[in-house]
Structure 1
Amino acid sequence: MLKPALAIMSRTPSTEGKSRLGGVLSPAQREALQWAFLKDTLDKARLLKEFKCYLAITPPCQINCVAQAVGLSVEVIPQPDGDLGQRMLGVAQELFIGGHSPVILIGTDVPSLPPAFLLKALALLEYGDLVFGPAFDGGYYLIGMRRFESRIFENIDWGTASVLEETVNICRKYGLAYSLLEPLADIDQPRDILDTMKIFENNKVDFTPVPARTIQFFKSLKKTCKKISQ
């Protein structure tokens, strides 16, 4: 049996990404922020020797571009086609088939995710079937599976505020034991930028390694932050 797998799910950063931040960030700024998210998340994952780390990219045609940008210390793999659920299902299935267990999937747009949460998720999977990291918007920023379970990705209204609720209902229906981590905010809306900045400023959580690129990007947004807070 191989090490547990940690798969970072990401779109290739682009000027079209994070479109809901378009009211306060230019296309170039949005792309820069996505790269900061991605590289900071990789820095976090690389320190966790308990995992074999993968970067799962969509669209697949951009794998070589992303691999060159992030270096050789992480294996870059394609996400399959489909909606978010189909893509997560496909990545998880391939990792289980490859011999990994458990498998944990995360995104890149939760820079306040402490590395300790990933280790906690791994510990919870010693006894439970699933673990979720609830996001304040009703989705989840992390999903971990002790064994492959396709049913939790079926018939979910992806992109809505009911994603986690629907998923938990499936767990209850089929008797799957699940745990929840502490809720965190992902960055999808302008206000999320300010909220995340406050978390780092309070410095009450160990974020080692500090997401330096993301924090530096936020610090460069003084005028933008004034616009958001109005």
Structure 2
Amino acid sequence: MLKSPTNSKQHLIIFTRYPEPGKTKTRLIPALGSVGAANLQRQMTEHTVSQVKELQANTAISLEIRFAGGNLQLMQDWLGSDLVYQLQGEGDLGSRMMRSLLNSFQSNAEQVVIIGTDCPGVNPQILATAFEQLHVFDLVLGPAVDGGYYLIGLQQPFSELLTNIDWGTSQVLSETVDIAQKLNLSVAYLPTLADVDRPEDLPIWEQETKE
């Protein structure tokens, strides 16, 4: 069943996709094949969930998985029935993230952080820092090397931050910061990390999983 997502003042949302071959990590299919790309999506999501669970061992943070593709049963069979799942729903990435933020704040969350699963460098320390910064700053961003961001954290849902953004381009971070400045929001930055999106990024994942 789709449980209420938020049972803590600090709420973390993971955006991911069910690892169906041909539907996920498509830019890696030339290097890995459709099944290999889906397997990487599976492994990277499991890695991200494990990092969050490590954080939860020491901190009162509720976790929610926002998924696309598959269905609730498939997600539970994959990642376990003890997690909270919600569909991402329709619209571009900004619309889907905004929906998840609004749901969380309406459920009494006071600090909400959203991450994807493409960035293997996300660890409990970075996530803990994001929540700590939200005690002081309006907005926390984790810059990605490709010009996007791997993490966004807010104390309240500013919908302007997620509208009219050229998602999937190298302008995502700079456009978001420009909007934040116009809104007079204070911004904290986390360490810059690399996403794994293209064949040339695969060594980042291999390095991370070796350690």
Distance 1:80 1:72 in 2: 20
Distance 1:68 1:196 in 2: 25
Deviation at 1:5?
Answer: 0.5
Distance 1:167 1:194 in 2: 29
Q: Which residue matches 1:29? A: 36
Distance 1:129 1:110 in 2: 23
State whether structure 2 residue 8 is matched by structure 1 residue 2: yes
State whether structure 2 residue 15 is matched by structure 1 residue 15: no
- Percent identical pairs in the alignment equals 34
Q: Which residue matches 1:41? A: 48
Q: Which residue matches 2:65? A: 55
Aligned residue for 1:119, secondary structure, equals helix
Aligned residue for 1:23, secondary structure, equals helix
Total equivalences in the alignment = 201
Distance 1:4 1:67 in 2: 23
Q: Which residue matches 2:156? A: 147
Residues 101, 112 of structure 2: 8 Å contact kept: yes
Deviation at 1:3?
Answer: 2.6
Aligned residue for 2:21, secondary structure, equals coil
Give the residue type in structure 1 aligned to 2:30.
G
Q: Which residue matches 1:69? A: 78
Deviation at 1:72?
Answer: 2.2
Distance 2:208 2:42 in 1: 21
Residues 185, 196 of structure 1: 8 Å contact kept: no
Distance 2:92 2:178 in 1: 20
Residues 14, 30 of structure 1: 8 Å contact kept: no
Q: Which residue matches 1:117? A: 126
Deviation at 1:41?
Answer: 1.1
Deviation at 1:2?
Answer: 3.1
Aligned residue for 1:15, secondary structure, equals coil
Structure 1 unaligned blocks of 5 or more: 204-230
Give the residue type in structure 2 aligned to 1:122.
F
TM-score, scaled to structure 2 = 0.90
Give the residue type in structure 1 aligned to 2:65.
L
Aligned residue for 2:31, secondary structure, equals coil
Q: Alpha carbons of 1:124 and 1:111: their partners in 2 closer, same or farther (altered >3 Å)? A: same
TM-score, scaled to structure 1 = 0.83
Deviation at 1:196?
Answer: 3.8
Aligned residue for 2:20, secondary structure, equals coil
Q: Mark the structure with the bigger radius of gyration.
A: 1
Structure 2 unaligned blocks of 5 or more: 1-6
Residues 80, 91 of structure 1: 8 Å contact kept: no
Deviation at 1:125?
Answer: 0.5
Residues 18, 30 of structure 1: 8 Å contact kept: yes
Aligned residue for 1:95, secondary structure, equals helix
Residues 51, 122 of structure 2: 8 Å contact kept: no
Residues 47-81 of structure 1, C-alpha deviation per residue, up to 9 Å, x if partnerless? Answer: 2233101111114x622211221112311111121
Distance 2:155 2:26 in 1: 34
Deviation at 1:199?
Answer: 5.1
Give the residue type in structure 2 aligned to 1:58.
A
Residues 157-181 of structure 1, C-alpha deviation per residue, up to 9 Å, x if partnerless? Answer: 1111000000000000110111111
Aligned Cα root-mean-square deviation (Å) = 1.5
Aligned residue for 1:77, secondary structure, equals strand
Deviation at 1:200?
Answer: 5.5
